[in-house]
Amino acid sequence: MKATTRRLVTRHDDNGKARFGQDSEITPVDLANGQARFALVWTTATVPADNMDETDGATRDAGLTLKGGSVIRVVDFKPGTRSPMHRSNSIDYGIVLQGELTLELDSGEKKLIRQGDIVIQRGTNHAWVAHSDRWARMAFVLVEASPVTINGQILDEHMEASQ
């Protein structure tokens, strides 16, 4: 699997014409547990985004999500691993770029997702299982969302302890 992700960023010149600003390779960083690699591709500080903000979005301090903003990252999942069960106050668009994974929900439901499949996570509690013998790669776009409220109870963000 190619370790880096090519990132092209457009901009405007002084005449309002579209130009390429950056063409670079983003290198993923291993997570401490060694089960996955994250490559932060871009962030915005606000939603709606400010296209006049010249900050390199990959240098902005972002956690899993970015309060008030958006994040795009590429995640590589090591074969035979399972992410912690987690929920964030965001809407997440996950696109399988390579390989396959199982998406597991806290209800116990599971679905196999393959290359080209797209998952829309709407603040649900979930885990990713890389069950094959090859690395899997997904691109995730996360946009801040209001917390989910069921029967008057707010479902808080959380991340279970790593396994």
Count up the domains in the chain and report the number: 1
User: Distance (Å, rounded) from C-alpha 161 to C-alpha 84?
Assistant: 6
**63 in any annotated domain:** yes
**34 in any annotated domain:** yes
Residue 57: what are its φ and ψ, rounded to 5°? -60, -25
For 34, which DSSP code? S
**3 in any annotated domain:** no
Query: Using CA of residue 147, residue 160, residue 105, residue 142, what is the dihedral sign?
Result: positive
**54 in any annotated domain:** yes
The model's pLDDT over 96-119, given as tens digits with 9 standing for 90+, comes to: 999 999 999 999 999 999 999 999
**52 in any annotated domain:** yes
pTM score of the predicted model: 0.91
Residue 99: Cβ within 10 Å count: 21
**Residue 94's CATH number:** 2.60.120.10
**6 in any annotated domain:** no
The model's pLDDT over 122-140, given as tens digits with 9 standing for 90+, comes to: 999 999 999 999 999 999 9
Helix, strand, coil percent values for the chain (each to nearest 5) = 0, 55, 45
Domain range holding 115? 21-159
Q: How confident is the model at residue 54 (pLDDT cuts 50, 70, 90)?
A: very high
**2 in any annotated domain:** no
**117 in any annotated domain:** yes
The reported pLDDT for the residue numbered 91 is 96
